[in-house]
Chain A
Amino acid sequence: MNAGMAGGIDCDLHPAVPGIASLIPYLEPQWADAVAQRGVHDLEPTSYPLRAPLTSRPDWRVAGAKAGSSREQLCAQALDGFGSRAGILNCLYAITTLFSEDMAAAFARALNDWLAAEWLDKDARLRASIVVPVQSPELAAAEIERRAVDRRFVQVLLPCLADQPLGRRSLWPIYAAAARHGLPVGIHAGSTYRHPVTPVGWPSYFTEDYVNQAQGFQTQLTSLVCEGVFSKFPTLRVVLIESGFTWLPAYLWRLHKYWRGLRMEIPWVDRPPPDIVREQVRFTLQPVDTPVEGDALLRILDQAGSDELLLFSTDYPHWQFDGQYALPPLLPDSLKTKILIDNPLATYPRLKEDFA
């Protein structure tokens, strides 16, 4: 273990649903019946092909099962392995890709209840994000209301790319419910494939799909800022998860420049976008998209102008780094402490209650 990392809070862990059958005990009877009657298949997202190198580090795979499907192994490798005091489970089972709003809502309820029973009840260090049927903002808000009473759910989880840009007004019931309960909204890499994963059409290679997630996050941040989500919900925190972050400074310079030229179009955006982002948006650490060697990362952080933006993550079991190098070694110790502990606690009020 890297001694300098003890006590961190890992803000991006991926528990895998072993298979659709795992949810049956948690589904309401008509939906449990539907799984059998209709032969509903496994709901693993196209965004992470199960055998792709990115999807799991070789030493984090589970023999004969999906990486991330073993709670004991996840807790041993991701929490014990890095000395973390707590970890947030972001389950990527693709509930949000279903076309039926009712089915999505039912499966989201089952998935969240499965997370509570199979994971949160069994290891006190674990916390989770509420999976919501983004297909229906009303049903998504209802799921937030239902699960928010359990304070081990510390965040609302949305996919990066779905039917419409995430700032659109019709989605605001989700943000209102999250803000009401003091829950940050976490937006995780991945697509529901309603649209091509690039603005210029479907790519040929998974490599492009994954690289383009960063551009997807950029346009979603533009949408959230320009539609006025941060103005309407001034206490809301948004966490971009597995988004990469080295694009942030250059992105903000461009957005800021166009905001100065076109702010008459969006008068409710009453602060410079970089100020909004530094106040209300956070980023999980992995993947760190800079060369391992050299000072590029430090210069990017200097450009970003804040030491409060990054939240520690291993992105377990995704293969973003080798060995113990979850934290880039060249970061100054004071910044490491902020990333590991202070920033997560400041971002997630419910973590502060139990892990401060």
Chain B
Amino acid sequence: MHNILPYNRMLQEYLRDELRVLNAHLPRHQKSLAELLLEKYPYVVCHNGSTHLFKRKELEYLASLIRADKREALLLPVLIELGQNEGESAVICSGEIVEEVISKVLDMQIRCRQKRITIYKPQLALLRKKLKTTTQYVFFPRTLE
């Protein structure tokens, strides 16, 4: 029998860190698109105290997709939850406006079910390509079970 406890301990440490850093980048508070467009340097503060900077180009692109009166309702960054299986993910839908935006970005009809919009790998890649800084991944404990 070999004692692999030091190695084990290292992994345990890593795991603890991994769980801690996983959602550290999530924003403390989401900001509306209207609010962000008014800021000189549009950003949100993350849970770990760092800042997440939005690209003005992306904000302007989002603003061009929706009516001016709806900008207040769109909270950014839009959160993407990773699904149970690897090919599937879900966009957390806080309102109809997210549905509208995602539908326009992906150029396809989508439906929101239980506050989630299910998208697949190619769509996820497209969404992340177009909205690089205005979307963020989120890990929920239930997906880890």
A and B are partners in one complex rather than unrelated chains: no
